[in-house]
Each structure stands twice: as C-alpha cells, then as structure tokens.
Structure 1
Amino acid sequence: MKDYQCLATFTYHHEYFVLKLQFEKAGIRHYFQNETLIGLLPLSSFAFGGIRLMIHPSDISKAKQIIDSLNDKSSNLRIV
C-alpha cells in the first residue's frame, strides 16, 4: 500500500460517495486513508489532513478520467 498515490483529498464522507461507487464499479484499486478515523471524529478532519483518496499507480489514468467525467458540467452526478 505504500506505492499508492494520493489523487484527491476530501473533508467529509458525503463528498466522495458517488466517486467511491464509480471506482468500485470500474475495478480501480483504491482506498480512502483516514476514512474510519474521520467517520468517528468528523470535526477532526482538518487536524488529520482530511480523507485522502489513494490510488494504485497503474489505475491513476482511469481514475482521473472518472473524476473528470463527474466534474463535467453536462453530468448529472458530481463530486463536491
């Protein structure tokens, strides 16, 4: 897991839920660092640097495509 790279940072769980579902559907190897800790202590998100989206190096280009498609203005689904 030390080879995984941080692609984005989120403050709260609701900000990346759609993205998480899309990654699981596409089979992208990922995990959210600090997800459980901030779930238990939501006000501590800033102290721990937020929830980091960690992506396997071979899946980064596919992950960026999904993020870009969700940020497209014509998409009904968006990440915060």
Structure 2
Amino acid sequence: MKHFVTVATFTYPHEYIVLKSILADENVPFIFENETIISVSPFYSFALGGIKLKVHKAYADFVREIIKDLNEPDSHLKLV
C-alpha cells in the first residue's frame, strides 16, 4: 500500500460498481478501502470518511481520466 494513492472517495458501494469493473478489465492495481465494513454497516461511511479508491501511483492519472469520462454528460455509463 506504500505506493498507492487515493484518487476518489465514494459514500456507498453501489456508486462505483461500473468503475470497479472497468479497473479490473484494464488490470489496474486498486483497492477500495473501507469497502467491506461499509457494505456491512452503511452508516459507518460518514464516520470513516467514505470508501476510498486507492490505485498504484503509476495509474493515478489514467484512473482519473476514466472517472472524468464516466462523468461526462454523453457517457452511456455513469458513476452515481
């Protein structure tokens, strides 16, 4: 985890399911910190600061670009 950086934060797991699939398909090393505890107890999300997407720093700009593309108005896939 030493070389991983946080590139996005989400409140609930359903918000990033599309992104998670894309990252896996692109073979990007990633982890969603706090994902398990918030899946079990969603009210912990605010106390823990949300679910943090951490990626290897070499992929950070690439992942930010993916997130930007998913948030474009004409994108057929969306982040919630």
| Secondary structure at 2:9 match in 1 | strand
The letter of the residue matching 1:42 is: P
| Secondary structure at 2:46 match in 1 | coil
Q: For 1:48 and 1:61, how far apart are their aligned partners in 2? A: 25
Q: For 1:26 and 1:65, how far apart are their aligned partners in 2? A: 13
Which residues of structure 2 form unaligned runs of 5+?
none
Say whether residues 1:51 and 2:51 are aligned partners: yes
Root-mean-square deviation (Å):
0.8
Say whether residues 1:5 and 2:33 are aligned partners: no
2:42: which partner in 1? Answer: 42
- CA drift at 1:66: 0.8
Say whether residues 1:77 and 2:53 are aligned partners: no
- The alignment of Structure 1 onto Structure 2 pairs a total of residues equal to 80
| Secondary structure at 1:72 match in 2 | coil
- CA drift at 1:61: 1.6
Identity percentage of aligned residues: 43
| Secondary structure at 1:37 match in 2 | helix
Q: For 2:52 and 2:62, how far apart are their aligned partners in 1? A: 17
Which residues of structure 1 form unaligned runs of 5+?
none
